[in-house]
A and B are shown apart, each in its own frame.
Chain A
Amino acid sequence: SQQGEEDPQALSIQEGENATMNCSYKTSINNLQWYRQNSGRGLVHLILIRSNEREKHSGRLRVTLDTSKKSSSLLITASRAADTASYFCATDAPESSGDKLTFGTGTRLAVRP
């Protein structure tokens, strides 16, 4: 089964509103990352938060991490129509054998103009 689960599966908001999506994972991690995917394209890295960090900002993005609850959230402020995409969290898994990067199921965000 996949390491990460995003919630909600789909989100529709008006331009200018904030969008919040959540990720839960199963095992301990070194870092948690968020990626964006425009329809039909490859994934693009947005932001990385280390396991010893609780919050990180990058432009209109704010990521929080709660390792005790094994969860993270991505907040996009003042959303734009161009933010319409799918968003995925990704984790490494140091307690598992190997050096692998696994993704959650994603949140589809639609921003209405």
Chain B
Amino acid sequence: NAGVTQTPKFQVLKTGQSMTLQCAQDMNHNSMYWYRQDPGMGLRLIYYSASEGTTDKGEVPNGYNVSRLNKREFSLRLESAAPSQTSVYFCASSERAELEAFFGQGTRLTVV
């Protein structure tokens, strides 16, 4: 049972480049989330999806887009990367927001 799988684990981008972070879960969960984690800031919610076909903004959505491709997959896209987007990104899923969430291992992104 793989749980939540994120790819890639590490990425270095130049300012202005684009990329997509992939996330897949095999637990048939309805809710999926993307967070970023910066030193001293805890986890901040970027976007979330309460069910297949729906997405909503979290606390820090600017500069990102998401796609809930199907129930399993929730991708995060940076259209034009900026140094301020250097961070560790985590994908998570849960049956519902009030229940236990399962996390991927994270993507460490550096924008130079």
Contacts and interface: CB of A to CB of B under 8 A. Distances in A.
Interface string A89-110: 0101110011111111110000
Interface in A35-86: 35, 40-45, 48
A33 interface: yes
A84 to B, nearest CB: 17
Contact of B98 (A30, A45, A104): A30
Contacts, number: 82
* Range, interface on chain B: 20 to 34
A79 B84 CA distance: 37
B111 interface: no
B103 A100 contact: no
B29 to A, nearest CB: 12
Contacts of A41: 105-106
Interface residues of A, number: 32
B97 interface: yes
Given A2-B59, A31-B99, 19 more contacts: A9-B40, A42-B90, A42-B105, A43-B92, A43-B103, A45-B101, A48-B100, A92-B96, A92-B97, A92-B98, A93-B97, A99-B97, A100-B33, A101-B48, A101-B94, A101-B98, A102-B45, A105-B42, A106-B42
